[in-house]
Structure 1
Amino acid sequence: MEMLGFKSGYQEVPSVAQEINDVEKSDDFQKELDGGGGDLSKSSANRGVLLVAATLFLALSGLALYSTSALGRMNPLLSATSGGGEFDDQQRFILRDFDKAKPMASFLNGLGGLWGVPMWAFYVNRGQGISSFGRQNKDSAIAKFVTAEKAYQQTPFTGFRTLVKGSREGVDFISQPFFPSAQPIERNIMIGLNEMEIEEKDTTNFLQTNVLYFTAPNQNFPSLVRKTTFTNSHPTSDLQIEVLDGLAKLIPNGLGNYNIDAMGRTMEAWMNVYNVGNAQTDGDSVTQPFFHISQDTADQAQVRLIKDGYFSLAYLDGEGQSAAHPLLPFIVDPSVVFGQETSLTNADNFFAADASAQGLARGPQGTTSRTPCAFAASPRLSLRAGESITITSVYGYAESLETYLASYLPQVVQPTYAADKRTQARDLVEDMSERVATKTSSAIFDAYIKQDFIDNVLRGGLPIPLGSNGSDSPIEGANRAQKVFHVYSRIHGDLERDYNYFQIDVTTFSQGPGNFRDVSQNRRVDVFHSPFVKDFNIRMFLTFVQADAYNPLTVASTLFKVPTERLESLLDSLSILEPLAGEGSRNFVRAVLGRPFRPGQFFRDLAIANIQFGLSREDVINRIVAVSTQEFAGQFNQNGYWADHWTYTLDLLDSYLAIFPDAEESFLYEPDSIAFFMSPAFVRARINRYTLVQDPSKPGGSLVRSYSAVAMPGDADYSRERNDAINAINSDPNLLADSGAGNFYQRARDYSVFRVSPLAKLLLLGVLKFSTLDPMGMGVEMEGGKPGWNDAMNGLPGILGSGMPETYEMLRIIRYVRGVFARYGRPVNVAVEFRDFLTALDSALNVYLASDKSVSAEFNFWDASNGAREAYRQSVIATFQGTKASISADYLVQLLDKIDQKVSVGIANALKTTASGLSPTYFYYDCSNFVMVPVDGSSGLKVVPKSFTQKTLPLFLEGPTRHLKIVSSLEERRKIFQAVKSSPLYDLALKMFTLCESLAAMGQDIGRMKAFSPGWLENQSVWLHMSYKFYLELLRGGLYEEFFEEIATGLVPFMDHRVYGRSPLEAASFVVSSAFPDKKMHGSSFAARLSGSTAEFLSMWAIMFAGQKPFSVEEDDKDLVLTLQPVLPTWLFDDDDQVSFTFLGSVNVTYHNPSRANSWETTVQRYTVTLVNGQTAVVEGSSLVGDLALKVRNHAVKSIVVELA
């Protein structure tokens, strides 16, 4: 494989002279080096020294970024070749000549603020950017949702358009800013944290056009604001223009994506534009059009009228305006603009010599039975040299035309509306990201931390506290503990992740449902930046663990319910005003609070009924939540169980205990606090799971497969008892459910919810997963019908696959739980059914440990452990008995030690299956030795295996990554790293790690990975989530030099954005590797932002700036101890020898490092602590102990200065 040059592993290295020459040509050298904003040195002379040193170093070191000996001494951004990108004075990334750059898809955040309603918007670097936007999901699009490859083609034509007729000094011209053109026109895109702007500089017509987009927060309707600014860039002459500016195709409300795609022509018959006066017949000024279909398109007896719709409006936005903006007229009939030019390429009618924008807008136009457009028509505008004018347009949704005209329109036309909403949109994300605000020598790295946090929130949610603190609740019996509620997250669907049906609730406190794996991982560091979360997340995900150790797929936002006995006193406290007759308002609020609710739903229902309170809305929701019960809500929503979902649970516990180590015992042993979620589906026993299928390679031959792993309601073998139990749960008046998600908890025989302690649930999880080891005792079987983290290995469960990553995670749980029992010596209460399972498993272990550990011994243990597990699952198929058994700590320590021995044998054997000694990730099993036996109550014969033949798949990065988590020796971890880097998993050209090595030798039956070309999607690409996981384990494992060496080319902000293909602040799902056949695609990124890599990076950030376990407990007197142990290279310290970050979401911590050594080579000498009340304490030594440590955790400390030496 040919090695590419240095530029983050992509481009040919220019000569030193060329490097310096390039720098001299750049007025923005400092910004280009550092990503804009941060000084690299105190003087230009120093910058020159740094530059020459950097370029000489590169020349001497060849293709290496920096040698290990130089590690930490040289910032990878101190190179003119780093390609980190350019940022403007608003700290927005600039992608120059965007329409000629690699195609790129991204999106605005879709954040409405706590008290606002969100709108989603996707954009591409083609045309005028926005390709689709709307509310709630892709079936409620104002501009139709299309997938990325269509968006690149269609957006310039059917998206936002600007049509200009201009005249300068008597010479007329026409122009379509941002429209595809063969002429070289400078077009740039500026991407901010919560906005996007495009810019065109037309030097032929001396016309600069800027279009700014952002969604408007803090209002009770969703809207997108578009500001189109025209600037006369000629130095002396005046310019006259008239403009049509707007959306070339607008989909009226009420039509879903499928109907538009499959029956679009027919659907046009339902389309109407309302509030148009006499426009259709005589012509009229349409300034407030309202778009929706007339009635629902379903073929059914009951007709449902559609009243809600989309609106568009526009006005000229001038400075100093004090009155409401007068509105511009709209053209809603595309034929008025384009004539019969149905490709929408040329505006034949408008560009006719005798046509004017407002003349067309006031003429007759069709308003029905066609797909409308929404072009605002300007009057003739005159611009002096250097002068600008802006057309502000707003596109949004209203529940009815009357609501729009009476409530929303007056807000939008206010003189400061657009400016205020832009400020609020910026403040929203700035306030969010302040929880992780960081300042180092690298402004681009600091900015990446903010963007990463925002993107992490969009997958996992932003935790906020709701409810009373306990001192101000006027309600008797209030639950005074604050409750945690997450906002802003959603399933990660977008233009490239078109397979997901994203859902963003159109309410205040908006949040959509998420997938278990995503939410679990992306909340990993919640407690680090928001300590009030405490044990909320670990409780939730332990609750979702079922009796069979699996879990539902969908995690919805939590539900609240006011207990009946507290309802009337709550209503008394809310100061409900009575615009309705009699006690109508109180009765309405009582009805709303009498059923399960979420905050956003509550306020939406009350707004529709026009219910008013004599309290602030903050007081209202806090009083309600204070007395409410809160329940987790999940939904099965799948056709199997993923093998890996449970593997992220211990990480949540580790994160909690890193901040609250003093709560370990009380949390783990809290009795009867964790329920068992109950899904309708259950994993079939082997006798029903294994089937014979025809062997395609051997006519007449058969293969043992597992293609029907789970039984679903309606299946012939579905348990009648389970069906009855599910029905009982669904009919329980205490069930809290909404939209299919709820607290579906398994009952005991007396129909009470069965609960155990967190420790008992962890024990169950670890031991049940242990009992799922494969026939060779190595990997955890994919018995649930779904693979592990790598979804694209979807074929493995069917061919009897298993995974080593789950084995390592199971062993982590076993060892942790074993340590708890050894540490506290306390027994644990478990269900008697689980007690019986442990007894049977212990017996099988004793037989195995006394055996010769041969293949047959492994098979015998597999058979026995499966039998024990199947018997246990059958005993709890419907309900628990309800009786618990106490098991001593001594017995469990001995049992868990045996499990550890058994697992360790399997791991040692697994490492022998690869030539490199690296951990394999996947196995599958052939079964040619089996018998067919009759089974009572079943027709036909069933497969009973007698032995298996193991097959090892090629290397995947996940195996060694998870293996690192259980390796205790630093040198052993280093050997694993070196072996990985020497393996085919390392892309030498890109200097990154790929997801797997070549799969050329594998059959198609392993899954859809084989359908993808090598280097694309999961097949041998650089999948950032997994490569980031690998980097994280290097950091966790103390391989600091190796970590910083690898992130210099593998972390997004350090990549060359010209090759990466998007902002260096935005992660992506994957980077095309050198294995891909099309070389020009190498290094390009796809599927923006909502990647699990955000969680991994935030974990890196936490360790880098505070250490793995900032808090601990003294063994002797049990005092709380805070010990900050940063892992920061010297190049991250600024010119004042400082780095600062935000600890626990509010405490500003500054490290002062006058020695300029890497922080892991120093020790903490002194803490200077400033309390919130202004008092200061200086503490010598490496730790804060007792009261001061508590004050830090309790937010009584404003700042800490830490001296390193």
Structure 2
Amino acid sequence: MTYFNEETKEFIFENYHKLKPFASFLPGIAGKNGVPMWTYYVNRGQLIASFGIENKDHAILDFTPANLSYRNTSVNGFRTFLKVNDQCFEPFGTTDSNRKLFIGRNKVSIEETNNDVQTTVKYFHVTEKKYPGLVRKVQFKALKDMKLSFIDGLATFWPYGTGLYAQKNMSNLAVAWFDVFNQENHIPFMKNRSTTEDTEEISALEAGNFYVSVDQHHKRLKPIYDSSIIFGYQNELAVPHVFNQMPYDEFIRQNQASTNQLLSGFSTHEVHLRKDETYTFYTLLGSYSNLDSLNESARHWDFNYFESLEALSESFIEELVAPMDTQTNYPLFDQYMKQSFLDNLLRGGFPYIFKGLNKDHVYHTYSRIHGDMEREYNNFYIEPRYYSHGNGSYRDVNQNRRNDVYFVKEAGIFNIVQFLELIQLDGHNPLTIEGSRFTFNQKYQNKLLEHVVKGENKLIDYLKKPFTPGSLLMFIENNIETNISPQTLLDLIMYYTDQTTQSSFGTGYWSDHWIYNLDLIEQYLAIFPDKIDFMLFDQPIKFYQSKMSVYPRKYKYVLNKEGFPRQLGGLYEDKEKVKSLDLKQGSNFHKFTNGKTVSVNLYSKLLHLATIKTASLDPMGMGVMMDSEKPGWNDAMNGLPAIFGSGTTETINLARLFKYLIEFSHLFKSKTVSIQSDIYDFFTNLTHHIDDGFDKIQDIRESFDAKTNLYLSDAFVDITIAQLIPLIERLNDYIHRGIKNAFELGKGLIPTYLTFEATTYQKNGLRHPHLNLECIDVTNWKVRPLPHYLEAPAHYLKSMLNVIDAHSVHQHVKASGIYDETLGVYKTSASLEDETLEIGRARAFTKGWLERESSFVHMSYKYLIGMFKSGLYDEFYKDIKTSMPPFMDPLVYGRSTLENVSFIATSNNPNPKVHGQGFVARLTGTTSEAMTLMYLMFLGKQPFSYKENKLTFKVNPKVIKDFFKEGRLSFKFLSHITITIHNPHHVDTFNLNVTHYTLSNQNERIKIQGDSILGEHADDIRNLKYSHIDAYLG
């Protein structure tokens, strides 16, 4: 049985240990001024499968993939052994019993009743402290009078300094470095005595991992780090023979060894309990920079301290997700939205604002690459500092920041600039986003030093190099004495800084990454439609410059070892570029020939992006080529670049980009713009030759790439936008002809992926520079579409204005084999059975698993958004009841239906046990799509509009009646405004308009007639003057 407790906000599984196995995690957020820890759990044993700080190399319990964790956690994780009136047993062990699992937003708990003892265990993270920690709260409730002896803790505890490789491959050697310190204080401090690398320079390790247990009487419990005094000869840790057989007073007098063996982290005690009496203790497990600091902090670690940590952990997370507070007739949907908000910021970050001299700084905290037990291939990193953030991928972070402007409006323009300036002149972008660094403007030193009592020189030296806010704040706390708070000094320093995005090439160039910038623009204009000129012409934007370049066709079109034409080895490290420009690790931006960094406005950047992507279309002008070793959104189609693959999803979004450009151009047609001369020449040259065939277009593109590989000319062309419009429209016409042809090729449903066969070619006398394959020139092509995928129709539906045409597309999708009739979900594609392995690993996967014909929820949601935006409301609301987790059966879904997953195994999978089950949890773009859907449903596509020099605000809900509870639903907007929609007749709202509004705050309440709010009142809403808006439907 499963159910949701509305009071405690916990999802509950009874007898969780007998249900489908699943993997999840605690959020790993410690607050702005806290140091985070990562913790992964499974619904087996006592849950915790691995945890640590920073990355896999700093684990306290070693990182293990999900499928092995299901097997190992019960033995290697947390264990409890009880002796009740001399009878021994293990709660949550192999003996069958009734158990419950409680999943909260920032906590997870289990409960079992066995042998007259109710055992409850709760886990949560330390919040807003200078050390990372996992807290385990254990409570025993006696169901009769008893003497209770217990051992509780971690079976496997790795000392600080033992990396993942040593844990998995050299653990027998690694124990030679292990030692335990601080036993006398009952806080074992475990570490390697020195660094373990086989080098000539060795240094001591100061940092260590520790644990401590404190009970309700403020007593520190006796620690046991030597498991042999518990298990004896039982090295497999199955049965605690020594504890079972030895009297407790003898047991605790045993000597422990601290060296040359694997270590544990147990605590032990004995208590006498009356019937219904409880005994509670907390165990804190974490890392500290040095032993002296640990013992200093631990002076305050009494039972009250841990109670306050528990309360703070709860209140902090609820405050964090408050911007997604939703109240409908579906409590699970409401909590699902909060969970989606939380998991979204774990991938995209939460935007905090620092005041700046020239402009405010937006700094995203809490983000990290999606690495967990089901994504063990990713080397995640969680910065062990205040204002923590980690690395992420361009596509992931971009998509998960799409809705930032809806709750922190200052983030809107920042995100647009940050991601678009990472687009290179060749149209590609780096993969890895490493967050922001700040550089202090040294001329404002005196503004700071008047607040420094001691440590001036240290601070001056520190500020000479780029820094993050978290590293700076920790430096101030540890090294600088001030007459103001460290946080105030940080804010002051940040005021005089410049911000730079850090990024690196990563592993390739994907063909789809650029398209998500259009969503950032769309969302920004939904809040700031009156700021189009500010967005287009007042934002200086750079061009990222990578060490990696793309070969022209003459090198990357080759004959493979079997003699077949292929596109291979498209990328190379451009040593000439690195040497000539002295490119450094981190962010490098294109420069003019005079050495200054290239900077253009957003209009010019978008114009160039449209131009370079038009020049990247395939030989038939239908799809954007995958010509740089990587595919598009579907990573598992990794074979497509080799077989000259292209994607129409990108072409659909290219048409969307041109739509924006044409709208913007007509709006500002009288304006004169300065366009960098190389960019302008490329644009006009392509426009004049757009109908001259694929080879001519590629010659123009490759010529531009070669000319601008190192520098851009510092010359600019001044031209009115009106003069550009005919040229832009000519390229736009070319794009739409390609889309029309793609529809005809797909027989009424646009194919997502195309491949091309080189039917006529000749060797050109060259060999590939590093593959040593013969190179060819191709003169004729034959196109072949792959089976239908959901991806392109999902993107196409979003742009459709005619509901009749949209309905036709929808019917084609339903009839194409993409829809799973049994489960009522959309699959990634129709059957791939007749495809070869050449298309990518997706073909090698099992049907209905990962990217092969499963329901990839992120793309399903994109399709749902397309349905909604195109006006298919009835079909949309029918589909969400089978496609959205909060409406699914958790016993089939296999986990909490508040949590998203990457994919759902579909009914074509050969294993019927997994049909409908969700896998690879939470850190997915689905979270962003869920938030977009909620705003579309409740608020409308365009909450703010700008007409006749007036800002207008309008609530335009399209909601089915069963979402309303007693005729009302509410949601948060811009973090601080609660919007309540009143539906007195309790009907579907598809054809209803608002008749009047009330706007209120603590001081006033005003009523406004009509379906829109105009002028000053609309400005007041955006400026957060009102805390409540009530919209009444007629």
Opposite residue 434 of structure 1, the aligned amino acid is: A
Q: Does residue 780 in structure 1 map to residue 670 in structure 2?
A: no
Q: Does residue 1203 in structure 1 map to residue 998 in structure 2?
A: no
Listed as ranges, the gaps of 5+ residues in structure 1 are 1-82, 278-285, 319-324, 469-477, 579-584, 696-701, 731-739, 849-859
Which of 1027, 1047, 1067 matches 2:900?
1067
- In the alignment, is the contact (CA less than 8 A) between 2:766 and 2:775 conserved in 1? yes
- In the alignment, is the contact (CA less than 8 A) between 2:846 and 2:909 conserved in 1? yes
Which of 468, 471, 475 matches 1:598?
468
1:345-374 alpha-carbon deviations (Å, 9 max, x no partner): 10111111x332x64343211101111001
- State the 1:937 CA deviation: 12
Q: Does residue 1134 in structure 1 map to residue 965 in structure 2?
A: yes
- In the alignment, is the contact (CA less than 8 A) between 2:2 and 2:11 conserved in 1? no
Q: Does residue 978 in structure 1 map to residue 811 in structure 2?
A: yes
1:437-481 alpha-carbon deviations (Å, 9 max, x no partner): 11111111111111010000000000111126xxxxxxxxx33x3
Q: Within 2, Cα distance between the matches of 1:260 and 1:623?
A: 44
Opposite residue 366 of structure 2, the aligned amino acid is: Y
Alignment of 1:222-241 (within 5 A): 222-233=132-143, 237-241=144-148
- State the 1:1036 CA deviation: 1.6
- In the alignment, is the contact (CA less than 8 A) between 1:84 and 1:1053 conserved in 2? no
Please, what TM-score do these two structures have when normalized by structure 1?
A: 0.84
The 10-residue stretch of structure 1 (108-117 or 972-981) with the greater mean CA deviation from structure 2: 972-981
- In the alignment, is the contact (CA less than 8 A) between 2:477 and 2:486 conserved in 1? no
Q: Which residue of 2 aligns with 1:769?
A: 613
Alignment of 1:1040-1055 (within 5 A): 1040-1055=873-888
Q: Which residue of 1 aligns with 2:564?
A: 703
Q: Within 2, Cα distance between the matches of 1:239 and 1:107?
A: 36
Q: Does residue 966 in structure 1 map to residue 794 in structure 2?
A: no
Q: Within 1, Cα distance between the matches of 2:482 and 2:864?
A: 52
- In the alignment, is the contact (CA less than 8 A) between 1:269 and 1:369 conserved in 2? yes
SS at the partner of 1:392? strand
Q: Within 2, Cα distance between the matches of 1:787 and 1:1046?
A: 29
Q: Which residue of 1 aligns with 2:932?
A: 1099
- State the 1:559 CA deviation: 1.3
Opposite residue 225 of structure 2, the aligned amino acid is: V
Q: Does residue 886 in structure 1 map to residue 741 in structure 2?
A: no
Q: Which residue of 2 aligns with 1:199?
A: 111
- State the 1:682 CA deviation: 1.1
SS at the partner of 1:711? strand
Q: Which residue of 2 aligns with 1:835?
A: 680
- State the 1:304 CA deviation: 2.1
1:513-550 alpha-carbon deviations (Å, 9 max, x no partner): 11100110000010011112241100111111111111
Which of 861, 870, 892 matches 2:693?
861
Q: Which residue of 2 aligns with 1:461?
A: 349
- State the 1:1170 CA deviation: 1.0
- State the 1:935 CA deviation: 5.8
Opposite residue 1142 of structure 1, the aligned amino acid is: K
Q: Does residue 428 in structure 1 map to residue 316 in structure 2?
A: yes
Q: Which residue of 2 aligns with 1:268?
A: 175
- In the alignment, is the contact (CA less than 8 A) between 1:437 and 1:446 conserved in 2? yes
Opposite residue 1077 of structure 1, the aligned amino acid is: P
Opposite residue 91 of structure 2, the aligned amino acid is: P
Q: Within 1, Cα distance between the matches of 2:58 and 2:958?
A: 47
Q: Which residue of 1 aligns with 2:288?
A: 398
SS at the partner of 1:756? coil
Q: Does residue 1143 in structure 1 map to residue 973 in structure 2?
A: yes
SS at the partner of 1:1151? strand
- In the alignment, is the contact (CA less than 8 A) between 1:331 and 1:374 conserved in 2? yes
- In the alignment, is the contact (CA less than 8 A) between 2:124 and 2:310 conserved in 1? yes
Q: Within 1, Cα distance between the matches of 2:557 and 2:203?
A: 49
Q: Within 1, Cα distance between the matches of 2:369 and 2:443?
A: 37
Q: Within 2, Cα distance between the matches of 1:443 and 1:741?
A: 45
Q: Within 2, Cα distance between the matches of 1:936 and 1:225?
A: 60
- In the alignment, is the contact (CA less than 8 A) between 1:84 and 1:1054 conserved in 2? no
Q: Which residue of 1 aligns with 2:21?
A: 103
SS at the partner of 1:350? helix
Q: Which residue of 2 aligns with 1:687?
A: 554
Q: Which residue of 2 aligns with 1:410?
A: 299
Q: Does residue 1175 in structure 1 map to residue 1004 in structure 2?
A: yes
Q: Within 1, Cα distance between the matches of 2:757 and 2:561?
A: 14
Q: Within 2, Cα distance between the matches of 1:131 and 1:658?
A: 43
Q: Which residue of 2 aligns with 1:759?
A: 603
Overall identity of the aligned pairs, in %: 33
The 10-residue stretch of structure 1 (933-942 or 396-405) with the greater mean CA deviation from structure 2: 933-942
The 10-residue stretch of structure 1 (491-500 or 1155-1164) with the greater mean CA deviation from structure 2: 1155-1164
Q: Within 2, Cα distance between the matches of 1:613 and 1:1039?
A: 61
Alignment of 1:932-947 (within 5 A): 932-934=763-765, 942-947=775-780
Q: Which residue of 2 aligns with 1:387?
A: 277
SS at the partner of 2:170? helix
Which of 135, 138, 154 matches 1:247?
154
- In the alignment, is the contact (CA less than 8 A) between 1:747 and 1:879 conserved in 2? yes
Which of 211, 228, 252 matches 1:312?
211
Q: Within 2, Cα distance between the matches of 1:121 and 1:832?
A: 53
Q: Within 2, Cα distance between the matches of 1:870 and 1:1164?
A: 55
1:777-827 alpha-carbon deviations (Å, 9 max, x no partner): 111000111100000111111111100101101111012111111121024
SS at the partner of 1:243? strand
Q: Which residue of 1 aligns with 2:331?
A: 443
- In the alignment, is the contact (CA less than 8 A) between 1:84 and 1:1064 conserved in 2? no
Q: Within 2, Cα distance between the matches of 1:177 and 1:599?
A: 45
Q: Within 2, Cα distance between the matches of 1:245 and 1:1064?
A: 31
Alignment of 1:148-163 (within 5 A): 148-163=66-81
Q: Within 2, Cα distance between the matches of 1:952 and 1:1017?
A: 22
Alignment of 1:797-812 (within 5 A): 797-812=641-656
- In the alignment, is the contact (CA less than 8 A) between 2:796 and 2:866 conserved in 1? no
Which of 708, 712, 724 matches 1:876?
708
- Which protein is richer in strand relative to its size? 2
Listed as ranges, the gaps of 5+ residues in structure 2 are none
Alignment of 1:1009-1028 (within 5 A): 1009-1028=842-861
Q: Within 2, Cα distance between the matches of 1:995 and 1:904?
A: 25
Alignment of 1:194-593 (within 5 A): 194-202=106-114, 205-233=115-143, 237-276=144-183, 287-318=186-217, 325-352=218-245, 354-356=246-248, 359-379=250-270, 381-406=271-296, 408-411=297-300, 413-467=301-355, 478-479=357-358, 481-572=359-450, 575-578=451-454, 585-593=455-463
1:1006-1048 alpha-carbon deviations (Å, 9 max, x no partner): 1111221001111111111110111111112221111111001
- State the 1:1155 CA deviation: 1.3
Q: Which residue of 1 aligns with 2:8?
A: 90
SS at the partner of 1:933? strand
Q: Which residue of 2 aligns with 1:46?
A: none
Opposite residue 577 of structure 1, the aligned amino acid is: V
Q: Does residue 612 in structure 1 map to residue 481 in structure 2?
A: yes
Cα distance change of structure 1 residues 963 and 362 upon mapping to structure 2, 3 Å threshold: same
Cα distance change of structure 1 residues 154 and 1152 upon mapping to structure 2, 3 Å threshold: same
RMSD: 1.6
Q: Does residue 929 in structure 1 map to residue 767 in structure 2?
A: no
Alignment of 1:784-799 (within 5 A): 784-799=628-643
Q: Within 1, Cα distance between the matches of 2:34 and 2:763?
A: 63
1:874-902 alpha-carbon deviations (Å, 9 max, x no partner): 11101111212234323322122212221
Q: Within 2, Cα distance between the matches of 1:1155 and 1:538?
A: 42
Cα distance change of structure 1 residues 941 and 252 upon mapping to structure 2, 3 Å threshold: closer
Cα distance change of structure 1 residues 532 and 780 upon mapping to structure 2, 3 Å threshold: same
Q: Within 2, Cα distance between the matches of 1:177 and 1:315?
A: 20
Looking at both structures, which has the greater relative contact order when contacts are Cα pairs under 8 Å and sequence separation is at least 6? 1
